[in-house]
Chain A
Amino acid sequence: MRAAAIALFGLLAAFPAQAADQFVFDQAERDAILLHGPWPPAAAPDPSNRASGDPAAVALGQKLFFDIRLSRDNDRSCATCHIPAQAFADGRPRGEGIRPLDRNTIALANLQGRRWYGWDGKSDSLWAQSLHPIVDERELAATGALLRDRLAPEHDAVFGPADDDETFLVDIAKALAAYQETLVTPRRPFDDFRDALERGDAAAMAAYPAAAARGLKLFVGRGQCAVCHFGPAFSNGEFDSVGINFFLGPDGVDRGRHGGITALRASPFNLLGRHSDDDTRSTAGPTRHVALLHRNWGEFAVPSLRGVALSAPYMHDGSLATLADVVGHYSQIDLDRLHQDGQLILQPLRLTDGELADLVAFLETL
């Protein structure tokens, strides 16, 4: 049995009596909260990308991110869908490239050091993930040869001449990745609260909204949200099926993680391939060992929750318009829509209206 709730370092006397309860956490809750920081994390260059952390490559990547020359028809760029003023997402349920896309446009932030990228994790590096929209016929529909014709001087100034069109394309993607690695969400009220909790600063803790503190208690406690939304980025970096529809019209299906692993293994751009700049393949362990499982069907990435209030709508298909809708989905989750070999801890939370509002208040502090 868990230890009885502990008063925070005997400092609760500093709180008004009516405000104290939401700031009392037992040891397990306190430990879980502290695991969500500190923030921001230390930057660590990607060993598979020789452009990672290189100021010249970052500058080139930033320029190209907004450059329509990356598209076949010179009419769109990365920023057409990843709009800076909208958390580098687009606010639509599903992306709109040259043709409609099947999934929600993921907000771009805190991308460095992840194991997998994209809703299905088909990429094991940020540079590989940055390459896919360039060549996808539904998105920018360009080719390595086309980019080489257009961008050779800028490319060569940073990377030197490329041996072939494919390498040229990868280099461009590596510059884009180097830029995107610099997109880090700022410290938020939760971070101040978390750090105050760690050092036992009751006065600083009291500045955190009471509703958010109650929501945090649910998040790390009864809600079990922190099991998947784990760590400083509020994601364990993996995939799950959470009862969201993955059929595409009457005849199609979005395989989710199952398709992602299949594509990863077939890709010449994965970390085991020739384009990785890490001769020791030091970060390729997950690629080497990832398992293709039946339950991967309909699984999608556990997204980071940092900055989540800015990136509506939600879920892989953008089917939930607001954070209240997301919390409501988990509160009333339909177990019949989950895999039988899926996550058993997903159970309807049946939250009260007040609890739903508290969880949303907490998410808005991330």
Chain B
Amino acid sequence: MRAALILGLSLAAGPALACGPGTVVGPQGGQLAYRVDPAPAVGRMVAVEVTACDGLALDGFDARMPQHGHGLNYRPRISAEGPGRYRVEGILFHMPGAWQFVFDVRADGNARRLTTDFAVTR
């Protein structure tokens, strides 16, 4: 089963473009939607499908455990799947607990780092 999540970004307001079925566009316009496939679990290698809205480009991705002071033991790779769509492969959560996704995005030449927190519980 896929876990679908939406990340609202604190970017400057711009033209709000719907970026895919099921995507919720927030009041500030800039958004990025992602879903983890398959659902996160310790020791399971997963991919993250990203839809970048409003002309955003995904330049980098990482995951980390801020409370533990470390990130992944694996290096994810980003591949472009189409306009605004990306697939990040090679993600393996090696511990249960509080994780954070880090998306490095670019819009109109400006680079920004966006994060979202979630828990791996099983």
Closest approach, in angstroms, between the C-beta of B1 and any C-beta of chain A? 19
Q: Is the CB of A291 within 8 A of B68?
A: no
Q: Interface majority SS on A: helix, strand, loop or mixed? A: loop
A286 with B92, Cβ < 8 A, contacts A236-B43, A237-B43 known: yes
The residue in chain B whose Cβ has the minimal distance to the Cβ of A237 is B43
Cα of A5 to Cα of B80 in the assembled complex, Å: 48
Scoring A residues 341 to 365 as 1 if CB is less than 8 Å from chain B, else 0, what string do you get? 1111100000000000000000000
Scoring B residues 60 to 83 as 1 if CB is less than 8 Å from chain A, else 0, what string do you get? 000000011110111111000000
Q: Interface majority SS on B: helix, strand, loop or mixed? A: loop
Q: Is the CB of B68 within 8 A of A238?
A: no
The residue in chain A whose Cβ has the minimal distance to the Cβ of B97 is A227
Cβ of B69: which chain A residues have Cβ within 8 Å of it?
341-344
Cα of A293 to Cα of B75 in the assembled complex, Å: 10
Closest approach, in angstroms, between the C-beta of B74 and any C-beta of chain A? 4
Q: Which of A228, A239, A341, A345 lies in contact with B67, CB distance below 8 A?
A: A345
Q: Which of A31, A230, A290, A345 lies in contact with B74, CB distance below 8 A?
A: A290
Cα of A275 to Cα of B95 in the assembled complex, Å: 31
Q: Is the CB of A228 within 8 A of B74?
A: no
The residue in chain A whose Cβ has the minimal distance to the Cβ of B92 is A286
Q: Which of A31, A228, A285, A293 lies in contact with B73, CB distance below 8 A?
A: A293
Range of interface residues on B (Cβ < 8 Å)? 20 to 34
Q: Which of A197-228 contact B (CB under 8 A)?
A: 226-228
B104 at the interface (CB under 8 A from A): no
The residue in chain A whose Cβ has the minimal distance to the Cβ of B45 is A285
B122 at the interface (CB under 8 A from A): yes
The residue in chain B whose Cβ has the minimal distance to the Cβ of A31 is B121
Closest approach, in angstroms, between the C-beta of B41 and any C-beta of chain A? 10
Cα of A39 to Cα of B45 in the assembled complex, Å: 23
A289 at the interface (CB under 8 A from B): yes
Q: Is the CB of B43 within 8 A of A231?
A: yes
Q: Is the CB of B95 within 8 A of A286?
A: no
Closest approach, in angstroms, between the C-beta of B56 and any C-beta of chain A? 25
Closest approach, in angstroms, between the C-beta of B91 and any C-beta of chain A? 8
Cβ of B76: which chain A residues have Cβ within 8 Å of it?
289
A30 at the interface (CB under 8 A from B): no
A343 with B70, Cβ < 8 A, contacts A231-B42, A291-B75 known: yes
Scoring A residues 233 to 265 as 1 if CB is less than 8 Å from chain B, else 0, what string do you get? 000111100000000000000000000000000
Cβ of A342: which chain B residues have Cβ within 8 Å of it?
69-70
B96 at the interface (CB under 8 A from A): yes
Closest approach, in angstroms, between the C-beta of A260 and any C-beta of chain B? 12
A291 with B74, Cβ < 8 A, contacts A231-B42, A231-B43, A236-B43 known: yes
Cα of A343 to Cα of B70 in the assembled complex, Å: 7
The residue in chain B whose Cβ has the minimal distance to the Cβ of A290 is B74
Interface residues of A (CB under 8 A from B): 31, 35, 115, 226-228, 230-231, 236-239, 285-286, 288-291, 293, 295, 341-345
16 A-B contacts, Cβ less than 8 Å apart?
A35-B96, A35-B122, A227-B96, A230-B96, A231-B43, A236-B94, A238-B94, A285-B92, A286-B92, A288-B90, A289-B75, A289-B76, A291-B72, A291-B73, A341-B70, A344-B70
Across the A-B interface, the 6 shortest Cβ-Cβ residue pairs: A289-B90, A344-B69, A289-B74, A291-B75, A285-B45, A238-B94
